[in-house]
Amino acid sequence: MEKNNIQLEVKLRPLALSDTDNIVKWRNSQFVKNNLFSQNDLTVEQHVNYFNNVVSKGKCYQFIIEAKIGMETLDIGTTFIKNIDFDNRKGEFGIFIGEEKARGKGCAKLAIKEILQIAFNELNLNRCYLEVLSNNQTAIKLYKKVGFQIEGTLHQDYIRNEETYDVILMAILKENYMK
């Protein structure tokens, strides 16, 4: 893909324990935290525990997003499918771009397409869903672009610093993704 005359390539690779420092750095950045529900800092120990008890046991399929932007290749963020319910063929999608210089270049859109391909073709899911804060209009617009649809709003469902936020529920079905 080319955006603003910059050659852009994105690929996903499985999360490894060696990615811990980047995950902790990205997850604790103010930009990423502003768009997450949890505001607590992530520690190395918490991430290692999560990796050993969730990712390595197949309870979450998590990937590092590698991007080639121009001539530079770097790890820029993570995407995942968690809370997988194989009986009902659904899972919860998530993503964040941790590297500031990779934001706004189309990397997230390409990564979402890749993770949905995994969700629908490799994991054989029928539905991927997400929850997003209503003030995160950039993400909502992106999710709509790749085919997610708004399914509902949880009004004043989240409180941060005594301020309430609506939570938008979105999902994409395999049949809609394949079109």
pLDDT, one tens digit per residue, over 64-89 is 999 998 788 999 999 999 999 999 99
Residue entry with tokens 């899972």: 91
Phi, psi of 20, rounded to the nearest 5 degrees: -55, -50
pLDDT, one tens digit per residue, over 32-51 is 999 999 989 999 999 999 99
Q: Are 38 and 47 in contact (CB under 8 A)?
A: no
Indicate whether 5 pLDDT > 50.
no
What does the alpha-carbon distance between residue 21 and residue 43 come to, in Å, rounded to a whole number?
9
pLDDT, one tens digit per residue, over 100-152 is 989 999 999 999 999 999 999 999 999 999 999 999 999 999 999 999 999 99
Any idea which fold 2-125 has? Aminopeptidase (3.40.630)
Residue ranges of domains in the chain:
2-125
Q: What mean pLDDT is reported for the chain?
A: 94
In sequence order, which residues have a C-beta less than 8 Å from that of residue 50 and are 6 or more positions away?
none
Neighbours of 17 (CB within 10 A): 12
What does the alpha-carbon distance between residue 149 and residue 132 come to, in Å, rounded to a whole number?
12
DSSP letters for 148-171: -EEEEEEEEEEEETTEEEEEEEEE
What does the alpha-carbon distance between residue 17 and residue 19 come to, in Å, rounded to a whole number?
5
